[in-house]
Amino acid sequence: MSILRSAPVLLLCLVLFTAGGVACFAQNPASQPKSQEVSDDDGIPVLIKHLPNWESVQAQAIFADNAEDLKKALGAEAIFDQIEFTPGTEAAAARYDAGTLVIVEPPSPQVSVDIDAKLTQFLAGSGQNSQTVYRRIGNYNAMVLDVTNTDAASALLDQVKYEKNIRWLGENPFQYKRAERSFVVTTSDIFISTVLVIVLGMALSVVGGILVGLGFFYFREQKRAGMTHFTDAGGMTRLNLDGFTPDIVPSKLLKH
């Protein structure tokens, strides 16, 4: 009999416990999408902090790791169907005066290149270029939706910076390729610089020789134009056959 009387109380407790558990689960951050990279200081996904002026839009910023959550938050945009949310793909969005900025970060550059090709082809064929401004920034696929001013949307995309550095835990597998590329680039630069210096030196030598020759020629011409008589003796003693050689002054002769 006591058990029957306590049954409603137990049922009420069970209902309250279930409702409380559901409420706690809804408020539990573990039920929210998790980012693969969060800030150590405040636990905010790093991708959100890459939004322009993220402090002012943090309250209404959106973070998603699948297309369904992104569509629920921003609407069923057809462009979202072109983004394949492979494991590790994350997206952050916020509304600005220029439009709604969406930053998608794929897990690898190859996936980013594939998404870039799909989005570029979609925008070229759908005629939404006037309402959507898209750009690939580093490993980000960033776009501004519901654009009212194209210049303002482009300026908003200019504020998105990809500032991640890749650090290898072990030996860099691309170290030898980078060294080889650096050697080839350095060698080609030295070769081109040497050829340019040689060609420039030859050109300067030719031009300098021409200028010096012309200067000497005009100088001799001016000097020759000032002569009243011309002789080919060159100042040497010669017979006065043409009457141009001045007489020897007797005072300047040696005396015995």
The 3-state DSSP class for residue 194 equals helix
Pair of tokens at residue 189: 């630069």
pLDDT top residue among 11 and 121: 121
User: How would DSSP label each residue in 70-118?
Assistant: HHHHH---GGGGG----TT-EEEEEEETTEEEEEEE-SSHHHHHHHHHH
Q: What is the pLDDT of residue 101?
A: 93
What are the tens digits of pLDDT across the range 26-42? 334 434 556 667 777 77
End-to-end CA distance of the chain: 173
Residue 152, Cβ neighbours under 10 Å: how many? 16
Q: Mean pLDDT throughout 147-155? A: 90
pLDDT top residue among 84 and 165: 84
Q: What is the pLDDT of residue 167?
A: 62
Q: What is the pLDDT of residue 19?
A: 44
What are the tens digits of pLDDT across the range 64-107? 888 888 888 888 888 888 888 888 899 999 999 989 999 999 98
Residue 247: CA atoms inside 13 Å, Cβ hemisphere, count? 3
Q: What is the pLDDT of residue 256?
A: 55
Mean pLDDT for all residues in the chain: 78
Report whether pLDDT(8) > 70.
no
| Least trusted range by pLDDT, from 66-80, 154-168, 188-202 | 154-168
> Which amino acid makes up residue 144?
V
> Which amino acid makes up residue 149?
N
